[in-house]
């Protein structure tokens, strides 16, 4: 499949028409904080910003264990977004390697084993808008994440073909997107060698059985299961093996948090400095997904179900409480698509007297990490994993 500029413009025009129709039919959908709008190739998502585009997935799409491509969230740091033609695409692998490579998509598919992994891609700042006190940055709700079956080749295999030198300390990734101003730091991220060579770290060209959507990184993106989406470089076109730490703004200043606050299992030693450490793994988390259109649940009438996920250590249990955490009831876990996937869960309604309640949901993983009642405030608003709390009505 090739995307060219004409198709892009056609997409825009259809999105324009679609949004116009949507605005007539669906004005009640808009919520106070966000505006529902259309993007090329996407259903209506909650818009945070137009340019660069940042759009989150409405919760109802998380009722599917795999998030549909056309509802998958969109997040860009810079406003100049490339439209890359697949036949013209080249991936450049260089730096501290014996044999620099330039590979086409066809080369990748033909020369390396093609593998799949189901993994959650979650923005480091997902739920930032829920922090109290507020924290500057994109004011995400619950939907800056998605779960997909990613298909591609192992980064480790490509680096082996290039002859990664033993002196390499990090692998850096650059992409075809850009900021409007030349002076703005290009969005480049790096990984420690251990994560780069992990067999689940992929260069992915497919998502849920289709080519990557344009706004999710067509034609190639990095997939880093267990780690937050900041590392999942979209429109990837350059891989550089480095003998010293990557020092650009996006590594040395952004996407960092106080080291002592979070019990990280998967660390990034060459980027740790003083009190700050890069955000790495996804915190254990859960979400209730079965709310009615008003955002609440009706006991006995609504389903009581949701999803849980973590950094790949594996979900051990999900529990719900109807008495502000005094007692917890264990939920039933559903299909297991692998350790990095959303894990669906469900529960039966307990007998409750008529009235208003709040249900709390929390997940724990196999390493003993549990969600917290109140998220840990940190300067950039990362790793929000407080219990999900939803109003419940019990009607006679």
Partner 1 sequence: MSRIFWTITLLLVLSGVARAEPEAALGEGRELFIARCSSCHSVDYIEMHARFGTRALWESQVTKMRNAYKAPMSDEDAKVIVDYLVRQYGPARTDLGQRTTPSNSISKTSVAPGLITGGAPRSP
Q: Does 183 bind partner 1 (CB under 8 A)?
A: yes
CB-CB contact of 312 with 365 (8 Å): no
Contacts to partner 1 from residues 236-255, by CB under 8 A:
237-238, 249, 253-254
8-state DSSP, 159: H
Residue placing its CB nearer to partner 1 in the complex, 248 or 296 = 248
Task: Report in angstroms how near the CB of residue 83 gets to partner 1 at its nearest.
Answer: 4
* The token pair that represents 25 in the structure block: 């039919």
Please identify which residue in 130, 169, 179, 265 interacts with partner 1, judged by CB under 8 A. Answer: 179
Q: How far is the CB of 320 from partner 1 (least distance, A)?
A: 31
Least Cβ distance, residue 379 to partner 1 (angstroms): 11
Site string for partner 1, 14-33 (x = CB under 8 A): -xx--xx--x---x--x-x-
Q: Quote the tokens at residue 178.
A: 């850009």
Q: Interface residues for partner 1 in 159-178 (CB under 8 A)? A: 174, 176, 178
86 binds partner 1 (CB under 8 A): no
Q: How far apart are CA 129 and CA 248, in angstroms?
A: 27
Q: Are 168 and 241 in contact (CB under 8 A)?
A: yes
Structure-block tokens of residue 110: 């033909």
The rounded distance, in Å, linking the Cα atoms of 49 and 61 is 20
Element (H, E) at 18: helix 5-25
Q: Is 100 in the site for partner 1 (CB under 8 A)?
A: no
Residue 353 interacts with partner 1 (CB under 8 A)?
A: no
Residue 379 touches partner 1, criterion: CB under 8 A: no
Shorter beta-carbon distance to partner 1: residue 80 or 160: 80
Residue 217 within binding range of partner 1, rule CB under 8 A: no
Phi, psi values for residue 371, rounded to 5°: -60, 160
Could you tell me whether strands 343-346 and 355-365 are parallel, antiparallel, or unpaired per DSSP bridges? unpaired
Q: What is the rounded distance in angstroms from the CA atom of residue 234 to the CA atom of residue 214?
A: 9
Cβ-Cβ contacts under 8 Å for 172 (sequence gap 6 or more): 95, 188, 189, 190, 239, 240, 241, 242, 246
Look up residue 62 and give its two tokens.
């998380």
Structure tokens at 234: 């979209």
Give the x-and-dash track for 111-150 against partner 1 (CB under 8 A).
----------------------xx-x-xx-----------
Q: Is 49 in the site for partner 1 (CB under 8 A)?
A: yes
Task: Among 167, 184, 194, 324, indicate the residue that binds partner 1 (CB under 8 A).
Answer: 184
Rg of the chain (C-alpha set): 21
- Tell me which residues touch partner 1 (CB under 8 A): 4-5, 8-9, 12-13, 15-16, 19-20, 23, 27, 30, 32, 35, 37-40, 47-53, 79-84, 90, 92, 133-134, 136, 138-139, 174, 176, 178-185, 214-215, 235, 237-238, 249, 253-254
């Amino acid at each position: 499949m090739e995307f060219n500029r004409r198709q892009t413009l056609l997409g825009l025009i259809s999105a324009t028409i679609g949004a116009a129709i949507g605005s007539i039919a669906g004005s009640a959908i808009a919520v106070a904080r966000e505006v529902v709008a259309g993007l090329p190739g996407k259903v209506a998502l909650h818009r945070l910003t137009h340019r660069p585009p940042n759009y989150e997935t409405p919760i109802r799409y998380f009722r599917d264990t795999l998030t549909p491509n056309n509802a998958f969230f969109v997040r860009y740091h810079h406003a100049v977004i490339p439209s890359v033609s697949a036949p013209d695409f080249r991936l450049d692998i260089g730096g501290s390697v014996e044999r620099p490579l330039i590979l086409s998509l066809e080369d990748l598919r033909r020369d390396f084993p093609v593998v799949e992994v189901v993994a959650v891609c979650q923005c480091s700042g997902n739920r930032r808008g829920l922090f109290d006190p507020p924290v500057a940055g994109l004011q995400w709700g619950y939907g800056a994440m998605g779960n997909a079956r990613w298909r591609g080749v192992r980064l480790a295999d490509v680096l082996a073909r290039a002859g990664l030198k033993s002196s390499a300390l990090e692998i850096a990734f650059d992409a075809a997107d850009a900021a409007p101003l030349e002076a703005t730091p290009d969005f480049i991220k790096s990984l420690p060698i251990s994560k780069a060579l992990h067999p689940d770290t992929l260069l992915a060209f497919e998502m849920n059985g289709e080519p990557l959507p344009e706004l999710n990184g067509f034609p190639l993106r990095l997939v880093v299961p267990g780690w937050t989406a900041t590392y999942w470089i979209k429109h990837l076109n350059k891989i550089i093996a480095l003998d010293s730490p990557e020092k650009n703004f996006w590594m040395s200043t952004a996407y960092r948090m106080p080291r002592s606050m979070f019990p990280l299992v998967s660390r990034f030693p060459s980027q740790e400095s003083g009190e700050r450490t890069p955000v790495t793994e996804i915190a254990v988390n859960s979400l209730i997904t079965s709310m009615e259109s008003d955002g609440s649940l009706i006991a006995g009438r609504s389903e009581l179900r949701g999803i849980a996920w973590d950094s790949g250590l594996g979900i051990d249990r999900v529990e719900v409480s109807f008495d502000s955490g005094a007692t917890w009831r264990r939920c039933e876990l559903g299909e297991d698509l692998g350790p990095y996937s959303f894990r669906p869960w469900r529960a039966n309604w307990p007998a409750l007297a008529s009235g208003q309640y709040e249900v709390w949901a929390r997940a724990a993983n196999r390493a003993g990490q549990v969600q917290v009642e109140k998220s840990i405030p940190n300067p950039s608003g990362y790793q929000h994993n407080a219990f999900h709390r939803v109003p419940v009505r019990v009607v006679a």
